Amino acid sequence: MSAAVSTNSGAPATPAVLPPGSVRLARLHDVIAAEWIKFWSLRSMPLVLLCLTGWYGYRGWQGAHDAYSHYLSFPPAERGDFTKSGLFGYGVEWFPIMVAVGAVGALTVVSEHASGLIRTTFTTVPDRLRVSVAKVVVLTTVMIGFGVLIPAEVYGFDRLVLSGEHLSLPLTDPGVPSLLISTVVLMPLCALIGMAFGTLIRNTAASMAAVCAFFLILPMLFKSPTTRWAIDVGNALPCYAWARLGFLGHGQPVGGETHTAALTAFVLWPIISAIVVAAVLNRRDV
């Protein structure tokens, strides 16, 4: 009735004017919400993250007790020589979690190619760049949260077990913030690299093999380089950059690496991986 009266009165209806960019932002928000649902709809995702959380919590507790036992094995006169450097996650092997997180990143893409869901996604949202941005945002957000949880529980057990003997590293120690932050950033970094592999390869088995080779085999090949180019490649690998940033300035498995070079590698890896994901998904047929 009101619409009819308005028309008959001769006053033209004024269309609602949305602020510039509001439609685009709303649509991107919807795509991010859809990608969030798709991420958690994969049954393996919460299971893998839950298992990793439990395992590294246990390893953090066990590693702290191992460090304490190692400290007690020293004669009282020599306990002052026991170094606290690197006690964070003492005995905890970090390579497996890098592989697991990289595999999670790869699965976010290859699972859609395997099921054909990627075609439906691009039919619903023809703007592939927007889909790529949403995937990167969701994966980065989840892995930042996961990256906070893992070092927090490992460091928490370290403090709980070792603080009585004044062995634990307090948060006020100059090296601890860098240690924890670099470990937090390591999780989304590895996940985005895995997503880039999944986008390039688009096959589950081959993507998993590529992730394992990159995070396990490649670092072993460049562990003791002898030429300049091999040293540069080794220093650029995420595991060695993380070691240099994290282990209180003592983690230099590859010679000649500086703190600035390690930080540069840490910044460039996620950026390059996100660009690869966006470029390949935007160009390649599905």
Domains: count for the chain: 1
pLDDT at residue 42 in the model: 86
- The answer to whether residue 9 sits within a structural domain is no
CA distance 192 to 275: 10
What tokens does 242 get?
């993380």
C-alpha dist (Å) from residue 144 to 105, 192, 269: 13, 11, 15
Q: Assess if residue 7 is contained within a domain.
A: no
Element (H, E) at 11: none
Return the pLDDT at 81. Answer: 57
Does residue 230 fall inside a structural domain? Answer: yes
SS3 265: helix
Domain containing 137: what range?
A: 23-283
The continuous run of DSSP H or E covering 127 comes out as none
Query: Does residue 13 belong to any structural domain of this protein?
Result: no
Which pTM was predicted?
0.83
With a cut of 50, list the residues of the chain below it in pLDDT.
1-7, 18, 22-26, 248-255
pLDDT at 172: 74
Tens digit of pLDDT for each residue in 220-261?
888 776 777 877 788 788 988 888 887 644 444 444 556 777
Separation of alpha carbons 123 and 126, rounded Å: 6
122 within domain boundaries: yes
Distance CA 182, CA 3 (A): 60
* pLDDT on residue 227: 79
Q: What is the model's pLDDT at position 262?
A: 82
**Vertex 181 angle, CA 176 and 182, to 5°:** 100
Distance CA 261, CA 244 (A): 9
Question: Helix axis angle, 176-201 relative to 204-212, nearest 10°?
Answer: 150
- CB-CB contact of 273 with 192 (8 Å): yes
Q: Which two tokens stand for residue 262?
A: 């390690």
Q: Is residue 18 part of a domain?
A: no
**Residue 61 falls within a domain, yes or no?**
yes
